[in-house]
């Protein structure tokens, strides 16, 4: 009878500890402030790049490119102005690389005419566009690595 009571108490303790809700992410305040700004810039970078990638070969590509170049310059300047905490330096490095690659992709899109008659530049554009997307994804992966060390992304990032 005593063993049975001990087993029930032990089972209750195990269930109570394993069934508890997961802890909320615990981001240091400097890291959280950095990530909130960097996440917005990463989203802007993705949006502007995708706009150009979709517009290539369409009649309005020149207008899209010129507005996107201006927006990317602003995004790149904002990325350079960020001051990441040491734990987020890998994320910051990837973010800067992604911005540079997307800028190169958009710059190479300028050389493609609306009717794709400049086919020699098309492979260059495609390789830069692929590298831009890869760099954006790697930035997200690096951010996820950091988030895993602090219990996950903050609620606003999900």
Residue 103 has pLDDT above 80, yes or no: yes
**Quick one: tokens of 87?**
């734990």
Count of structural domains within the chain: 1
Give the closest residue to 97 by CA, choosing from 67, 76, 82. Answer: 76
What pTM did the predictor assign?
A: 0.77
Angle at 35 between CA 28 and CA 51, to 5 degrees: 170
Range of the domain at 23: 2-157
pLDDT (average), residues 111-138: 79
Residue 68 has pLDDT above 90, yes or no: no
**Entry field: residues in the chain:** 158
| Banded pLDDT at 94 (limits 50, 70, 90) | very high
| Banded pLDDT at 117 (limits 50, 70, 90) | low
CB distance 116 to 79 below 8 Å: no
Give the closest residue to 34 by CA, choosing from 99, 93, 98, 102. Answer: 93
């Amino acid at each position: 009878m005593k063993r049975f009571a001990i087993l029930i108490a032990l089972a209750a303790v195990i269930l109570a500890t394993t069934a508890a809700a997961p802890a909320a992410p615990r981001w240091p305040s400097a890291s959280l402030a950095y990530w909130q700004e960097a996440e917005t810039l990463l989203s802007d970078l993705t949006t502007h790049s995708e706009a150009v990638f979709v517009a290539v070969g369409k009649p309005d590509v020149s207008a899209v490119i010129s507005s996107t170049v201006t927006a990317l310059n602003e995004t790149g300047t904002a990325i350079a102005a960020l001051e990441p905490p040491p734990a987020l330096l890998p994320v910051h490095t990837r973010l800067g690389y992604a911005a540079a690659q997307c800028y190169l992709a958009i710059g190479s899109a300028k050389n493609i005419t609306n009717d794709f008659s400049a086919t020699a530049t098309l492979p260059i554009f495609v390789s830069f566009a692929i590298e831009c997307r890869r760099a954006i994804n790697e930035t997200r992966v690096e951010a996820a690595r950091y988030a895993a060390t602090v219990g996950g992304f903050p609620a606003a990032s999900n």
